[in-house]
Amino acid sequence: MTSDWQGFFKLIEAKNQFIVTCHVHPDGDAIGSLLAVGFLLKKLGKNVELVCSEGVPTVYTFLEGSELIKKERGPSLLPEVLIAVDCAERERCALAEEIWGIPGLIVINIDHHITNTGFGNLNIVDSQAAATGEVLLRLFKEAGIALEQGVATALYTAVATDTGFFRYSNTSSFTLELAATLVKEYGVEPAKVAEQVHEQKSFNSIRLLGEVLCTLKVGVGGKVAWMVLDQEMLNKYPVENEETESFVNYARSIEGVEIGILFKELRANEIKLSWRSSVNVDVSKLAAYFGGGGHARAAGCTLNGPVKKVVDDVLRFVAGFYEAR
């Protein structure tokens, strides 16, 4: 763990123009953390732009300030500092590529992915933290910065979504303590967050789930379960990217299954894999083999080729992985 908070505050003090971004295909941790850093910088009187090239998934638009997140940076601000939250690598930042060419741009990388490449000039990466929101909560607590209910709710959402609402193995007593503080001191309403995130699904997303579940298969001695989501299904039931995020959990939830995989056809010959695992397997290593990364229990990568070929290749690789163990 590196946590150079002194360096962080020193740097922030000296600069005025900031741009903050998160990873592509943003989730609750990405959006919640983005809002929290925006809150901090505004509180310190800085000029700040919040950018996520894909916009905010509808499910997170209930978060206060989410309307301030823009798809592109405006022309008026020339950033001196770029802060990336929840991004394991520079290439996953939800920003136009030209940003990296700005002369003298200082990059701050705040994250919790074990596969983080340390791409910042300053890196604050805690792979023990359940979420980037947890890393930030620790900062706010240690620096004695009071939160408002809106930003507290954003941070609660960040931690809740990355821990599967406090069910996954990354949930520590510290995670629960931080969440409790948010509820007790800042008026966060857990039931409201859960309702917004889980009880507002679109009709299409549930019908799409039905189609995807029909593709469910189990193999490799019952240890691996996988499902396919192709363009034909998406054309039949159009949904936002974020709405398919939880589908892979059904594969992992089967008794005896250690690895769940969702193969999602983003476009012809471009297949995004979502990997989920139980306690026995570190899927970040398997995803990294295919050029991706993530966490031990949740990882991702993208492969090129027709769906069927990608499925066959990946399953052969996973079978080989088990044989070698």
Instruction: List residues binding ligand 5GP (CB under 6 A).
Output: 23, 25, 88-89, 92, 115, 245, 274, 292-295, 298-302
Q: Using CB positions, name the residue nearest to Mn ion.
A: 29
Q: Using CB positions, name the residue nearest to ligand 5GP.
A: 300
Contacts of 209 (CB under 8 A, 6+ apart): 247, 250
Shortest reach from residue 182's CB to ligand 5GP, in Å: 22
Shortest reach from residue 311's CB to ligand 5GP, in Å: 16
Shortest reach from residue 245's CB to ligand 5GP, in Å: 6
Whether 249 contacts 276, CB under 8 Å:
yes
- Give the up-direction half-sphere exposure of residue 159: CA atoms within 13 A in the CB hemisphere: 31
Q: Which does 23 bind (CB under 5 to 8 A by kind): ligand 5GP, Mn ion, none?
A: ligand 5GP
Nearer of residues 79 and 300 to ligand 5GP, judged by Cβ? 300
Shortest reach from residue 124's CB to Mn ion, in Å: 14
Shortest reach from residue 247's CB to ligand 5GP, in Å: 10
Shortest reach from residue 279's CB to Mn ion, in Å: 19
* Beta-strand relationship, 270-277 and 259-267: antiparallel
Shortest reach from residue 48's CB to ligand 5GP, in Å: 23
Q: Which does 293 bind (CB under 5 to 8 A by kind): Mn ion, ligand 5GP, none?
A: ligand 5GP
Nearer of residues 109 and 115 to ligand 5GP, judged by Cβ? 115
Nearer of residues 84 and 301 to ligand 5GP, judged by Cβ? 301
Q: Which does 151 bind (CB under 5 to 8 A by kind): ligand 5GP, Mn ion, none?
A: none
Nearer of residues 65 and 300 to Mn ion, judged by Cβ? 300
- Of 23, 18, 242, nearest to 111 by C-alpha is 23
Nearer of residues 172 and 302 to ligand 5GP, judged by Cβ? 302
Q: List residues binding Mn ion (CB under 5 A).
A: 29, 86, 131-132, 162
Cα four-point dihedral sign 86, 133, 95, 56: positive
Nearer of residues 12 and 36 to ligand 5GP, judged by Cβ? 36
Nearer of residues 188 and 251 to ligand 5GP, judged by Cβ? 251
Burial (CB count <10 Å: 0-12, 13-18, 19+), residue 8: middle
Nearer of residues 134 and 258 to Mn ion, judged by Cβ? 134
Shortest reach from residue 111's CB to Mn ion, in Å: 8
